Amino acid sequence: MTAMSKERDRRRQDPYPSRLPEEHWLPRQDRVVWSQWRPDAPLTAQQADQFDRDGFLILKDIFTAEEVEALKAESAAMRNGERDLMDGSVITEPGSDEVRTIFKLPEQSSLFNRLASDRRVAGIARFLLGDEVYIHQSRLNYKPGFTGKEFYWHSDFETWHAEDGMPRMRAVSASLLLTDNDAMNGPLMLMPGSHKQFIACAGETPDDNHKSSLKKQEVGVPSHEALGKLASEHGITAATGKAGTLVLFDCNTIHGSNGNITPFPRSNAFFVFNAVSNRLEEPYGAKKARPDFLAERGDPTPVEIKTGKLA
């Protein structure tokens, strides 16, 4: 069998084909919570059941005030040019020089590297995914006051599958709020229960799609009709909370955020944990894979879970 025929066969067997001529709804074929709950789990049984049902979980008061302040200070230093950042790791707001995103957090900050391995974050991810985990992607997200732009509704897995080659729905995102997030300053919004269906999006992937999608995502997003149906069935929840709140959500949960026209900026530290057994393959819906700062490729290094205070 030639390499080309092997690739055609791989795509024919793909349980989540996307970037098609027409939009399709497909049932989820993977678990949500991969571990059996036990008394020493990092979540309660009720929390594990809630994550399975809703596709996300909001945890408050799990970090100390000192830890949160240290993370906020480190975030400000990275954004304000007090740290030497890797070339290509900074994305600005559409139409301005305001920082929107800084990628590769563990590689650029010892404090955020420690956060990424903490039992309160990575330990939960390992439990939910039932496997050793590695960091698929990490970033600091900023939404400045007055001018912070929206980020449209999408499923992360749709992009990670089509453009990165993530085989199955066995990844979870962890977002630690570094500012107070309320209903007015553009918080993360999620559709509870939307993770149980996969929306195979219409349209081909343009070459180097990431160069525009990081500022404004237009490819790999559900139709207005699909989003309206999902919202009618599941509703919308705003992930609000004080700085230090941790939001965990499944890779296929539909989410987005409004623009921020308040004077109050919003920011968060964001880590994507993927199961080691779910390491990336060739993209399923793009000609070539996205750059490494967006998707960790090759043989993954499992996160070594740590306990104790961050700082």
Tell me if 154 is assigned to some domain: no
Tell me if 62 is assigned to some domain: yes
Q: Note the pLDDT tens digit of each residue in 277-292.
A: 999 999 999 999 999 9
Distance CA 200, CA 284 (A): 12
Q: pTM of the entire structure?
A: 0.92
Please tell me the predicted confidence (pLDDT) of residue 195. 98
Tell me if 158 is assigned to some domain: no
Tell me if 146 is assigned to some domain: no
Please tell me the predicted confidence (pLDDT) of residue 134. 98
Q: Note the pLDDT tens digit of each residue in 93-146.
A: 777 777 788 999 999 999 999 999 999 999 999 999 999 999 999 999 888 888
Stronger pLDDT, 30 or 89, i.e. the higher one: 30
Rg (C-alpha) for the chain, rounded Å, is 19
H/E run at residue 257: strand 255-257
Residue 118: give the domain boundaries: 18-134+167-173+192-258+279-311
- What percentage of residues in the chain have a pLDDT greater than 70? 93
Tell me if 92 is assigned to some domain: yes
Q: Which two tokens stand for residue 63?
A: 């970090």
Tell me if 180 is assigned to some domain: no
Distance CA 267, CA 269 (A): 7
3-state secondary structure of 309: coil
Into how many domains does the chain fold? 1
CATH of the domain at 76: 2.60.120.620
Tell me if 125 is assigned to some domain: yes
